[in-house]
């Protein structure tokens, strides 16, 4: 078989192979154009052109969210993508099931809130701080404390495996939420911490860049995501990444081959926790208010669903999953207006709310179940894991 024939066959495999077959300058140019489009995405003049005509309803199906602010939804997608990337290091690369990953998000958010808010009890009651700190100074502290919490959680628990580790991490997240809810000493209980500091920067006219508009926050989180992707890619291609894969495949075999499994599992926990804390600090800078109601168990499960939906062990899968779990339910709000979907139906004299806004999580949940049944490797799987699942399916296939 000639080289030319092999190339033609590879061209037909999938989009990833087609992209890899392009010359390097063309790949770089395509990525630059794609990134520029991502930065333009929250611009109204740009996203209002995203859609296509349909023969029913209003005659036009928009890809943007008409029921909520597009830039705000994109920012929410951004910090969930960061969370999915962090959990992907823990679950996708090292194979450690973490059900309490949102606890690290809470550590980062509360650290920024305590250090930047003039209403913080560290300033108003205990005089441990003379004045609020700048947001930019507190972000590295939030990352460090989240990483430290990951190490402190992992040190005694990473000798556990599977369901036992999942239960411990779930308990960690719930402890943080309950302490934040009931403890009035520093975290101020359900009253929370208001007036959290914003990122720095002003426009040429002197107006603050990071104020009430979501667009600058989206640009900031997108920039952070790009930096985190480069960091994770380098780690995945290094000795550390190969050790994570060995641990995920067979921890006992990796240990027999001389891999210090506990050390590398602790590294995965710490790096994932740091990314989670970074995401929390970005969210707190925009939200301007932090209390315990945000850090519920449902959010941890949603991040886990994002990783599994996109494809565990795949950076692209984590990004796609994090985007879908936030964007799709918000986009479904727009469906009723497009197709003339009724908001209520009457059955036996009882009015039942059937609007897409009310049913969007039911629809999303049903789609998630379908994907997990028919594509268990995820929408954008890691090649190695996809091959493993295919081999397992062959092993359990009935012999005729």
pLDDT in tens, the chain (400 residues): 455 544 444 444 456 667 777 788 888 898 999 999 999 999 988 888 887 777 665 567 788 888 788 999 999 999 999 999 999 999 999 989 898 899 999 999 999 999 999 999 999 888 888 899 999 999 999 999 999 999 999 998 888 888 888 899 999 999 999 998 888 888 888 889 999 999 998 888 888 889 888 999 999 999 999 999 999 999 999 999 999 989 988 888 998 888 899 999 999 999 999 999 999 999 999 999 999 888 888 888 899 999 999 998 899 999 999 999 999 888 887 777 677 677 777 777 787 777 777 777 787 888 888 888 888 888 888 777 666 666 666 665 555 5
pTM for this entry: 0.89
Q: Is 381 left (phi over 0), alpha (psi -120 to 50) or beta?
A: beta
Q: Are 11 and 18 in contact (CB under 8 A)?
A: yes
* Domain assignment present for 86: yes
What pLDDT was estimated at residue 183? Answer: 82
- How far, in Å, are 194, 201, 330 from residue 211 at the CA level? 15, 10, 23
* Domain assignment present for 324: no
Task: Quote the strand ranges of 199-326, DSSP E.
Answer: 289-290
* Domain assignment present for 360: no
Q: Are 206 and 128 in contact (CB under 8 A)?
A: no
* Domain assignment present for 323: no
Helix/strand/coil for 221: helix
* Domain assignment present for 28: no
Q: How many separate domains does the chain show? A: 1
Task: Quote the strand ranges of the chain, DSSP E.
Answer: 51-53, 60-62, 193-194, 289-290, 344-347, 350-353
* Domain assignment present for 321: no
* Domain assignment present for 234: yes
Range of the domain at 143: 69-310
* Domain assignment present for 364: no
What pLDDT was estimated at residue 9? Answer: 44
């Amino acid at each position: 078989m000639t080289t030319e024939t092999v190339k033609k066959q590879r061209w037909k495999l999938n989009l990833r192979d087609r992209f890899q077959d392009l010359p390097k300058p063309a790949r770089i140019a395509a990525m630059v154009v794609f990134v520029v489009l991502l930065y333009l995405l929250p611009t109204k003049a740009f996203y209002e052109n995203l859609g296509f005509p349909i023969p029913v309803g209003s005659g036009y199906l928009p890809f943007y969210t008409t029921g909520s602010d597009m830039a705000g939804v994109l920012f929410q997608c951004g910090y969930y993508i960061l969370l999915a990337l962090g959990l992907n290091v823990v679950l996708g690369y090292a194979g450690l099931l973490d059900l309490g990953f949102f606890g690290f998000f809470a550590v980062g958010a509360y650290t920024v809130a305590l250090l930047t808010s003039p209403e913080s009890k560290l300033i108003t009651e205990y005089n441990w701080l003379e004045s609020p700190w700048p947001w930019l100074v507190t972000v590295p502290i939030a990352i460090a404390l989240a990483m430290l919490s990951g190490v402190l959680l992992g040190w005694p628990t990473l000798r556990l495996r599977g369901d036992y580790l999942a239960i411990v991490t779930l308990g960690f997240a719930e402890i943080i939420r309950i302490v934040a809810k009931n403890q009035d000493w520093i975290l101020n209980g359900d009253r929370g911490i208001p007036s959290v500091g914003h990122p720095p920067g002003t426009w040429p006219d002197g107006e603050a860049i990071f104020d009430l508009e979501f667009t600058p926050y989206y640009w900031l989180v997108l920039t952070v995501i790009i930096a985190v992707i480069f960091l994770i890619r380098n780690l995945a291609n290094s000795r550390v990444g190969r050790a994570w894969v060995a641990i995920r495949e067979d921890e006992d075999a990796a240990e027999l081959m001389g891999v210090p499994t506990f050390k590398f599992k602790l590294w995965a926990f710490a790096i994932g926790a740091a990314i989670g804390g970074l995401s929390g600090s970005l969210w707190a800078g925009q939200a301007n208010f932090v209390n315990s109601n945000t850090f519920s168990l449902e959010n941890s499960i949603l991040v886990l669903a994002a990783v599994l939906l996109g494809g565990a062990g795949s950076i692209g899968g984590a990004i796609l999953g994090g985007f879908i779990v936030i964007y799709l339910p918000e986009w479904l709000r727009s469906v009723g207006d497009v197709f003339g979907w009724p908001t209520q139906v009457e059955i036996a004299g009882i009015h039942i709310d059937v609007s897409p806004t009310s049913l969007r999580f039911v629809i999303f949940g049903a789609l998630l179940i379908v994907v997990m049944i028919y594509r268990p490797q995820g929408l954008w799987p890691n090649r190695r894991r996809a091959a493993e699942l295919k081999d397992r399916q062959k092993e359990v296939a009935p012999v005729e």
